[in-house]
Structure 1
Amino acid sequence: MMPARPGMAAVLAIAAVVGLTVMAGIRGLRLARSTSDFFVASRTVRPWWNAAAIGGEYLAAASFLGVAGLFAGGDDQALWLVIGYTGGYLVLLLFIAAPLRRSNGYTLSDFAQVRFDSMAARRAVSVVVVIVCGAYIVPQLHGAGLVATTVLGAPRWAGPVLVATVVGLTVASGGMRSITLVQGMQYLIKVASLLVPLAFIVATLAARGFTPARVPTPPAELSTRSPYGTVSLLISLLLGAAALPHVLLRLATSPDGRSAQRTVVIATALVGTFYAIPFAYGAIGRWAVPQVVADGGADSLVLVLPYFVGGPFREVLVAMVAAGAFGAFIATSSGLVITMAGVVSQDLFGSDVRRFRLSALYATGLPLVLALVTASQSITDTVGYVFAFSASTLFPVLVLGIWWRGATAAAAVSGITVGAGLVAGAAVAYYVLGRPVGALGDLLAHPAAVTVPLVFTVVVVVSRLKPVGVRAAEQFIHQIHRPDDVETRLAVPVRTQR
């Protein structure tokens, strides 16, 4: 592994990313005045920048660090992760993006309340959003701790504390105005921070006469996952990505439904392009530094590869990668915190700016505490359960709520309860039983193939048993599927509750 000692280049690079984030927060503070500014940037974010912001917040620790390590270790999960992470945007484009934007809600909770005319449905969705966002923030903070120890030689707690502090202050200062600037900027930083070191690594290897023929042959058996495990993993990634609350919140910042669709199309291209880079790191890492993966350092491969292969500029290259990693943690955590803050503010404290800022600090502090008191699991494992949870709770309710007038509030609450309980139970059982292998291990590690169809069935059956509020739902569904020029004259009011 790379020597754990602080380098001035790494310190300066991370300080630069933090400084740029703080400056964006200050600019957002000057621009943000109204509640709409803080929640949805007054719905004025254009598709290209909104797509870059989605790329900034979506390409998180699992994408920046985990994918390369998995590929270097010969695990075909890396391929399925990329397909699922990117393909989920096609599902989002086809079934959710434009109708959800036309519902005119600030949050998913607003959509649930207006669609089902139910505070119970609103609360159920709010609880799930808080769980998904909170659980997703924790691996980002663990990733920051990994960078702090690997690159800077700092205590592991230093990374999470730094990221949480920057994110909390940025979100509280300017809300969505601030983080839109931060996330779009961080996407560009992430791409540059990986591409430039990769170019130097390739050039250095070429100068040394390094060729794949002279390195160990990759393992013949790339995966021990069963067909069920592969299919279930893809289901959780495709459907979970389409229902991630912080990505859906970005669509609410679009001017209209058509802009939301364009945003998703562009974001799909940006995300798919990015994933070619960690695959290149994984391929080179498998050939050049197989000892890193063999020693259990797969998640740190992207950080240490420039050190081993980067030649005379290795310290600078490591610093660039570390800065990009911190950018990933900050951008993703910002989107998650503002999503949590919006829900907590509306449902517990109120929808004014002061209460939103207070909620942002709560939404940052709780995940920080959890990250500091829990051990870091594999980043991809942790994020995998988040996607399965989202796919088994929010996705069925969103799709049926948007496309089927017969879905009822009681059915939505029942489906969310069943999905949440099953996925959470599977995750707990998987770790309590010591990561079992075989059919049981596949079922517990990848429950989505069972839980998602079951939740759809629960929602349909309960809706049929007591079809209440169908006429009002029909009018709402008709509105959110109208063209944008008609939708502006038939806007659905957003009702928020203290």
Structure 2
Amino acid sequence: MEMNPWVLTGIVLVAALTFYLGHRSSRFANSTHDFLVARRTVRSRRNAAAISGEYLSAASFLGVAGIVLKEGADGLWYPIGFTAGYLALMLFVAAPLRRSGAYTLPDFLEARLGSVALRRCATAFVVLIGIMYLVPQLQGAGLALHTVLPGVPLWVGALAVTVLVAGNVLAGGMRAITVVQAFQYWLKLFAIAVPAFVLCAVFVVGQHSSPSGALGDAAPPVFSQDTTVAVQTDVGLRVDVVTPVRIKDPGATTERTVVWAKGATEQVAKDTQLKFAAGTPVPVVEDAVANNSDWLRPGSGGLGDLLQTYSLILATFLGTMGLPHVLVRFYTNPDGKAARRTAVHVLLLLGLFYLFPTLLGVISRMYVPELLVTGQTDAAVLRLPQSVLPGVAGEVLTAVVMAGAFAAFLSTSSGLLVSVAGVVSTDLFKGRVPDFRWATGIVAVIPAVLALTMRPTDLSLSVGMSFALAASTFSPLLVLGIWWRRLTWPGAMAGMIVGGGLVIAAIVLNTVSGYTGNWAPWLADQPALLTVPAAFLVTVLVSLATKDGTPADVNAVMLRLHAPDPLGFMRDRAVARFGQVQNKERTGKGRHRK
């Protein structure tokens, strides 16, 4: 693929606008109150756009289409779960959480249960979830730049996103990124919707035909022309029909011709080149669906596939309410009613957005099936425009898509960085503006280093594990803490440790399995079906056994969480229990409007 000047222009424009909006908004950020919660003046519509902007990450913009390309109907649960999680958040969490007056998730747990030890434990899990979520954003940035600008190393995209995001957060915290994230939602919607409409129009005008065969065919897609595939990581390819292929091994100067047998699984090393003749059925990586008939039918993998789907649903439905960068945005609303209204608007905005990557994932099956060979299906949205429309039109569409993808990396990384930095600055430091900036620098470096050293994985799958961890740690605490007055801090801590520990064990097991033959069961990949019920059960049982751990002010706290806003029970807590709030008020300036 040749260098695309349109892409470079789009990336530069997005970076410049992001910096400009962040710099402009940061002029009004001069207190801890501004840096953590934007002075709690963000109205529902703008906050909904900002939440949608930060929530639609690399997993949404690139990963959803990639997972649909690879898994078909079963992959549709990802966008459904990512969206429906806000329904649970709206019904059970949003308004009471805002009425608590907390600034961070650990701050809420201490306000509800009165335990500093629980707050410290929650801080550790917030940092872990934030880093787990940040790493795939940075890896996705590197993958995206490398895909459309082949001469650019993978580390350039990760470093560029880290520097730009850290600059905005250092300058103004939540105050600076609110307008940026709201703008980036509408940019991402434009960048995904326009290519979807154009490519669908081309498909319809072409009389519903594609070079790789129709989706209604039972057989796998085929290569439309002689195709050379460069394998960039070790993969195992599943072969459903007899497949002739010419192979150039790493470091070799000559090719060899082999015939892969039907039903075989062929191990292909990194840096191998595979050449397929036109009309050859496409072999797929081991975890992908080969035949179109199975791709179109949900649950075609039997009982294990069905249980894995249930586990995914549980993780995404409940994990949303435990993500720190999502919850912190509800602290910026003026009151509980505005927080609930924000969640309703987010449901509408996300539902609209997810129509388009799903559609692009379906089209990718017909136009870029070679990605099923390399396993890099996350690049489908980036490769699709020029595969459907060769020439300048395809290059321009690729630039539009890339601009949206870059905005996705920036907005989600900004939200994660500001939420984790806020927790670190108030729990490990004194909560002042300089402390927030030091925390931002520290938190930004760690995921950047991990992104450059860890092996890239499917974006939706790795982000899905973050959802599982959030669902297994904070979801029980929020639901029970808001709606069950008998919750105790020992029960909350026990449930958090058990749920989080099981997910971490699954992550370790899955990582080891990935390097030693993929022997781990599906539960290691999607553990929420076990870990979430275990966390709820342990939390309830330990709470019932430790009644003396119930805080003395539980009735007053529960009243504050559930009393209607006009009664005036809501009281904002101090920014930090162990420090003074820095505040240079500028009344009347820089308020966020509805």
Note whether the superposition's TM-score is higher than 0.5.
yes
In the TM superposition, 1:224-239 aligns within 5 A as: 224=301, 225-239=304-318
Q: What's 2:488 paired with?
A: 408
DSSP-derived class of the 1:281 partner: helix
Give distance in 1, aligned partners of 2:337 and 2:367.
Answer: 46
Q: Output the CA distance in 2 between the equivalents of 1:40 and 1:490.
A: 16
Superposition deviation, residue 492 in structure 1:
5.2
The 8 Å contact of residues 61 and 143 in structure 1, kept in 2 or not, is answered as yes
Task: Please name the residue that 2:262 is paired with.
Answer: none
Q: Does the aligned pair in 2 maintain the 1:151–1:303 contact within 8 Å?
A: yes
CA distance in 2: counterparts of 1:478 and 1:430, whole angstroms = 44
Q: Specify the alignment match of 1:87 in structure 2.
A: 84
- From 344, 351, 376, the equivalent of 1:297 is 376
CA contact (8 A) 1:47 1:262 kept: yes
Amino acid at match of 2:417: V
Q: Which residue of 1 aligns with 2:436?
A: 356
Partner residue of 2:154?
156
Give the conservation status (yes or no) of the 8 Å contact 1:10–1:316. yes
Stretches of 4+ aligned residues off by more than 4 angstroms: 435-438
Q: Which amino acid in the other structure matches residue 318 of structure 1?
A: T
Cα offset for 1:205?
A: 3.0
Give the deviation of 1:436 after TM superposition. 7.6
The residue aligned with 2:363 is 284
CA distance in 2 between counterparts of 1:15 and 1:457 reads 50
**Gap runs ≥5 in structure 2:** 219-291, 580-594
The amino acid across from 2:494 in the alignment is: S
Shift of residue 212 of structure 1?
6.8
1:366-385 superposed matches below 5 A:
366-385=446-465
What is the CA deviation profile of residues 153-179 of structure 1, one whole-angstrom value per residue up to 9, with x for unaligned ones? 200000000000000000110111111
Share of identical aligned residues, percent? 42
Contact 1:110-1:496 at 8 Å conserved across structures: no
Q: In structure 2, what is the Cα distance between the partners aligned to 1:202 and 1:453?
A: 42
- For residues 294-373 of structure 1, the aligned pairs below 5 Å read 294-311=373-390, 312-373=392-453
Instruction: Name the SS of the counterpart of 1:73 in structure 2.
Output: helix
Is 1:475 the counterpart of 2:561? The answer is: no
What residue identity is the alignment partner of 2:59? A
SS at the partner of 2:350? helix
> What is the alpha-carbon distance in structure 2 between the residues aligned to residue 6 and residue 35 of structure 1?
44
Q: Determine the structure 2 residue equivalent to 1:189.
A: 187
CA deviations over 1:392-423 (Å, ceiling 9, x no partner): 00110111111111111111111111111110
Aligned to 2:512: 432
Cα distance between partner residues in 2 of 1:9 and 1:342: 37
Q: Which amino acid aligns with 2:73?
A: D
Counterparts in 2 of 1:465 and 1:257: CA distance versus 1, 3 Å: same
Tell me which moved more, 200-209 or 53-62: 200-209
**Amino acid of the structure 2 residue aligned with 1:397:** L
Tell me how far apart the structure 1 counterparts of residues 172 and 74 of structure 2 sit (CA, whole Å): 38
1:208-257 alpha-carbon deviations (Å, 9 max, x no partner)? 33437962526222342522211111101100012211110000000100
Contact kept, 8 Å, 2:486 with 2:543, in 1: the verdict is: yes
Deviation at residue 476 of structure 1 after TM alignment: 0.3
Pair 220,436 (structure 1): closer, same or farther in 2 beyond 3 Å = farther
* Cα-to-partner distance string for 1:8-36 (whole Å, 9 max, x where unaligned): 11111000000011001111221112211
Write the distance in 1 (CA, Å) between the matches of 2:24 and 2:476.
Answer: 38
Q: How far apart in 1 are the matches of 2:400 and 2:388?
A: 14
Instruction: Tell me which of 392, 398, 402 is aligned to 2:478.
Output: 398
**Aligned mate of 1:462, from 534, 542, 549:** 542
Higher share of residues assigned helix: 1
In the TM superposition, what is the alpha-carbon distance from 1:470 to its structure 2 partner?
A: 4.3
Given that 2:35 and 2:433 are in contact with CA atoms closer than 8 Å, whether structure 1 keeps it comes out as yes
Q: Which amino acid letter does the alignment assign opposite residue 147 of structure 1?
A: A
Do structure 1's residue 147 and structure 2's residue 227 form an aligned pair? no
1:241 matches 2:329: no
2:499 counterpart SS class: helix
Offset of residue 294 of structure 1? 3.8
CA offsets, 1:270-313, max 9 Å, x none?
00110000111011111233233344231100000001113441
- Relative to structure 2, which stretch is displaced further, 238-247 or 222-231? 222-231
Give the secondary-structure state (helix, strand or coil) at the position aligned to 2:436.
helix
Q: Secondary structure at the match of 1:221?
A: helix
Specify which of 29, 47, 50 is matched with residue 47 of structure 2: 50
Contact 1:95/1:399 (8 A) holds in 2: yes
Partner of 1:270 in structure 2? 349
Give 1:458's aligned amino acid: V
Superposed CA deviations along residues 442-485 of structure 1, whole A, max 9, x for unmatched, are: 22112111111111111111111121234412220111100011
1:220 aligns with 2:293: yes
Deviation string, structure 1 residues 110-169 (Cα, Å, up to 9, x no partner): 101111111001111111110001110000000001011101220000000000000000
Whether the 8 Å CA contact 1:28–1:175 is kept in 2: the answer is no
More displaced stretch, 210-219 vs 447-456 = 210-219
- Asked if the contact 1:45/1:255 (under 8 Å) is kept, the reply is yes
SS of 2:201's partner is helix
The correspondence of residues 17-96 of structure 1 with structure 2, limited to 5 A, is 17-96=14-93
CA contact (8 A) 2:417 2:444 kept: yes
Deviates more, 1:225-234 or 1:39-48: 225-234
2:500 to 416, 420, 430: 420
**Residue 10 of structure 1: aligned partner:** 7
Cα distance change on mapping 1:18 and 1:363 into 2, 3 Å: same
- Which stretch of the first structure deviates more once superposed, 425-434 or 42-51? 425-434
CA contact (8 A) 1:195 1:277 kept: yes
Judge which range, 376-385 or 86-95, deviates more.
376-385
CA distance in structure 2 between the partners assigned to 1:366 and 1:276 by the alignment: 34
Aligned-residue Cα RMSD (Å) equals 1.8
1:7–1:315 Cα contact (<8 Å) kept: yes
Greater C-alpha radius of gyration? 2
Q: Secondary structure at the match of 1:182?
A: helix
Please state how far the C-alpha of 1:90 moved relative to its aligned partner.
0.6
**Larger mean Cα displacement after TM superposition, 194-203 or 263-272:** 194-203
| Alpha-carbon distance between aligned partners in 2 of 1:86 and 1:188, rounded to the nearest angstrom | 17
Structure 2 partner of 1:103:
100
Inter-partner Cα distance in structure 1 for 2:573 and 2:411: 30
Post-superposition Cα deviations, 1:295-353, rounded to whole Å, max 9, x if no partner, equal: 42311000000011134411111111111101000000000000110011011122111
For 1:190, give the aligned amino acid.
K
- 2:294 aligned partner, one-letter code: E
Going by fraction, where is strand more abundant, 1 or 2? 2
Contact 1:144 1:159 in 2 (8 A): yes
Alpha carbons 2:490, 2:542 under 8 Å: kept: yes
Partner of 1:256: 335
| Count of residues paired in the alignment | 493
Paired position in structure 1 for 2:586:
none
